[in-house]
């Protein structure tokens, strides 16, 4: 069916005049609206509960826009929530900025905004301010989204790589590779017997519970682009210590493993969007695991390794299922473009 011109966003919707006003009041506010956003100021006034805050930003260019387990909108909210969550903050407010290609369907925008609204509600954050730009057909690929976020730091929580010491345990809250392999298989039109599903989720509920319950958590990071391999290499370099992980202890959905094998990806380098890596002292590891496993987003949590002495230089080593050892390198970067 041919869509009507009125069903599409036009370049003029970004001009700052009547049409921009219409786009915001008729199409955006009814879905995302809250008292602060409804003021339509160029900035939002916030009275935070503390002056100690975390601040983050992420742009999303994921392709396809809609995928099994989420969409670019849900991803934008969860990704920014997670950056604040792993820093030991409670996410409070998000700013939403859209860059839309002339001709993009209102129907798709509505679906994306609904995804944003749902994810914001689930994660207890408000979209408090925003911006909308349009560009000519061909000057962007449908829609790009930026979310910036403010979180209030949890009292007494100061995670930092410098706190990591030999013997600390490495925990992940579930299976790896789900997001990246879902995206790549949908993009390439590959169908697997078991359908893959992105793990896209906001982690702040679980991380806040962990930080509040376990005082000794050293550091957390979410293994997104570059996967577990990139995150562990960053941590190893950052603290100057080596990391040893056991392949047998890393949870991987069998369908994801099969897809990775078939497509030639190392699942360790594939992006996740609902996972964190936590570095905890050995005496707290089991308590952390218990809290995770009692939470819907941590059912398959696992202690996947430990921090060890460095010999020549900080390295990440994998003990394979058959007992061999291999170095897990920092991925080069070209593996999976536009995964988030």
Scanning residues 172 to 211, which ones bind a second copy (CB under 8 A)?
A: none
DSSP string covering 16-43: SSHHHHHIIIIIIHHHH--HHHHT--SS
Name which of 145 and 252 has its Cβ closer to a second copy.
145
Closest distance of CB 283 from a second copy, Å: 26
Stretch that binds a second copy, among 117-125, 219-227, 277-285, 298-306 (CB under 8 A): 219-227
Name which of 11 and 258 has its Cβ closer to a second copy.
11
Secondary element (H or E) of residue 126? strand 126-135
Within 13 A of 2's CA, how many CA atoms are on the CB side?
Answer: 2
Closest distance of CB 323 from a second copy, Å: 28
Query: Segment 57-96, which members bind a second copy (CB under 8 A)?
Result: 57-61, 83-84, 86-87, 89, 93, 95-96
112-130 burial code (b ≥16 CB/10 A, e <16): bbebbbebbebbebbbbbb
Measured from the Cβ of residue 203, the count of other Cβ atoms closer than 10 Å reads 27
In three-state secondary structure terms, 277 is: strand
Name which of 232 and 289 has its Cβ closer to a second copy.
232
Name which of 200 and 289 has its Cβ closer to a second copy.
200
Asked if residues 159 and 238 have their Cβ atoms less than 8 Å apart, the reply is: no
Sign of the four-CA dihedral 83, 85, 89, 92? positive
Candidates 24, 114, 140, 308; binder of a second copy (CB under 8 A) is: 140
Closest distance of CB 80 from a second copy, Å: 9
Applying CB under 8 A, the site for a second copy has a residue count of 82
Q: Does 52 bind a second copy (CB under 8 A)?
A: yes
Closest distance of CB 111 from a second copy, Å: 21
Measured from the Cβ of residue 338, the count of other Cβ atoms closer than 10 Å reads 13
Name which of 237 and 300 has its Cβ closer to a second copy.
237
């Amino acid at each position: 069916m041919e869509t009507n011109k009125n069903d599409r966003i036009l370049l003029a919707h970004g001009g700052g005049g009547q049409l921009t006003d219409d786009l915001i009041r008729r199409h955006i506010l009814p879905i995302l609206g809250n008292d602060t956003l409804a003021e339509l100021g160029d900035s939002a006034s916030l009275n935070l509960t503390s002056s100690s805050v975390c601040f983050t930003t992420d742009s999303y260019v994921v392709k396809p826009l809609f995928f099994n387990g989420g969409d670019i909108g849900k991803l934008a909210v969860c990704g920014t929530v997670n950056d604040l969550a792993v820093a030991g903050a409670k996410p409070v407010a998000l700013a939403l900025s859209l860059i839309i290609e002339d001709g993009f369907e209102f129907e798709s925008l509505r679906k994306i905004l609904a995804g944003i609204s749902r994810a914001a509600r689930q994660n207890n954050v408000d979209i408090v301010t925003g911006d909308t730009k349009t560009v000519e057909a061909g000057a962007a690929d449908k829609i790009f989204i930026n979310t910036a976020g403010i979180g209030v730091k949890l009292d007494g929580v100061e995670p930092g790589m410098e706190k990591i010491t030999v013997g600390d345990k490495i925990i992940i809250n579930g299976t790896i590779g789900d997001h990246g392999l879902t995206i790549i298989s949908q993009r390439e039109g590959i169908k697997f017997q078991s359908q893959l599903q992105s793990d896209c989720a906001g982690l702040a509920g679980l991380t806040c519970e962990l930080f509040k319950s376990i005082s000794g958590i050293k550091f957390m990071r979410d293994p997104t682009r570059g996967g577990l391999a990139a995150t562990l290499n960053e941590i190893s370099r950052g603290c100057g210590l080596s990391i040893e992980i056991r392949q047998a202890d890393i949870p991987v959905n069998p369908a994801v493993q099969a897809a990775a094998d078939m497509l030639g990806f190392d699942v360790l380098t594939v992006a996740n969007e609902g996972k964190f890596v936590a570095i905890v002292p050995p005496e707290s590891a089991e308590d952390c695991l218990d809290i995770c496993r009692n939470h819907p987003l941590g059912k398959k949590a696992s202690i996947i390794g430990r921090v060890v002495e460095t010999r020549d230089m900080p390295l990440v080593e994998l003990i394979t299922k058959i007992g061999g050892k291999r170095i897990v390198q920092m991925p080069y970067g070209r593996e999976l473009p536009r995964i988030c």
